[in-house]
Amino acid sequence: MKILVTRQIPNKGPDLLKSNGYDVFVNLEDRVIKKAELIGYLERDRYDAVLCLLTDKIDSDIFDAAKESGVKIFANFAVGTDNIDIKAAERVGIIVTNTPGVLADTVAEHAFALMLSLAHRIPESDRFTRAGKFKGWEPMLLLGSDVSKKALGIVGLGRIGSRVAYHARRGFDMPVIYHDIRRSEEFEKEYGAEYRQNVDDIFRGADFVSIHVPLLVSTRHLVDARRLRLMKKTAYLVNTSRGPVVDEQALVEVLRERVIRGAALDVFENEPALAPGLAELENVILTPHVASATEDTRQAMSELAARNIIEALEGRIPPNLVKH
């Protein structure tokens, strides 16, 4: 059986597939594969599975070509599956899987790193020091904010949001408020967390708002100008979920007007492009969609994507099936 991997990924998954007797073809162009190229591969050869990335937009034309080729499964090397038209997959009877769980701690750490970096003004301090502006200790130099005991607002209490709450509570003694489509009394008991039915109350009440929802029709621009303007003047926004969850242009405006103190983004509305004006702001931290990018985690994602393929091709239900 033959597997198409749309771009080079850490070796564990491809190695696992090979050691299970699969023929693995990796597209070695080190850039996002074009739709026509992917369809071309599928038309030229017979494939049983595709291991794809979040930068591959998998639409119904690709699913039609994949079906013809013999593909049974698309295993996404990501937890988010907004790049895949799941309905189209179901129409042609192709399975879609993702890689949840293995990246939750790493992404939660990144969200926390961003919170600490914002509050302690780490990138600004680094720029200042490198620029030779440090002339000696000053009582008023680069004053920041504390993180400990400040209120954390979590929007989206999945695996990642829960781990952010864990670090906040156990490490920094932060009171936690959260919003999710499902309330979890167990979580509330464990972390002394409080549920907010209305997402606006998270924006009103938190000192740090951390976003952990998937990108859906219902979460596009969940963080819009109106909600940003509900936030405390001293509050910070952190987004490690998907760019379009935040209205990036509205964020630029509130940061410019100092409606909130700062924001950190790992994801962008039109990746890799940034909203005009965003990169010029001092009160924002930008990272290039690397929240899950540790060696161990990317290897674990690679392995999990491969496991999903093996399970599906051996006729079992893969562990991380995504349903519409």
Contact positions toward ligand GLV, by CB under 6 A?
54, 78-80, 103, 292
Q: How far is the CB of 210 from ligand GLV (least distance, A)?
A: 15
Which lies closer to ligand GLV via its Cβ, residue 1 or residue 79?
A: 79
Cα 152 from Cα 207, distance rounded (Å) = 6
Q: How far is the CB of 216 from ligand GLV (least distance, A)?
A: 13
Give the amino acid at 253: E
Cα 25 from Cα 28, distance rounded (Å) = 9
Is residue 184 classed exposed, middle or buried when 0-12, 13-18 and 19+ CB atoms within 10 A define those classes?
middle
Q: How far is the CB of 182 from ligand GLV (least distance, A)?
A: 20
Burial readout 120-154 (b: 16 or more C-beta within 10 A, e: otherwise): ebbbbeeeeeeeeeeeeeeeeeeebbebeebbbbb
Residue of 7, 227, 242, 298 with catalytic role: 242
Omega cis (within 30) before 272? yes
Give the amino acid at 310: I
User: Is 242 tagged catalytic?
Assistant: yes
Residue of 90, 188, 253, 271 with catalytic role: 271
Which lies closer to ligand GLV via its Cβ, residue 205 or residue 318?
A: 318
Instruction: Look up residue 225 and give its two tokens.
Output: 């100008």
Cα 299 from Cα 181, distance rounded (Å) = 31
User: Is 248 tagged catalytic?
Assistant: no
Which lies closer to ligand GLV via its Cβ, residue 257 or residue 295?
A: 295
Q: How far is the CB of 159 from ligand GLV (least distance, A)?
A: 11
User: Is 289 tagged catalytic?
Assistant: yes
Which lies closer to ligand GLV via its Cβ, residue 71 or residue 78?
A: 78
Which lies closer to ligand GLV via its Cβ, residue 115 or residue 160?
A: 160
Q: How far is the CB of 150 from ligand GLV (least distance, A)?
A: 26
- SS3 of residue 23 by DSSP: strand
Active site positions, annotated:
242, 271, 289
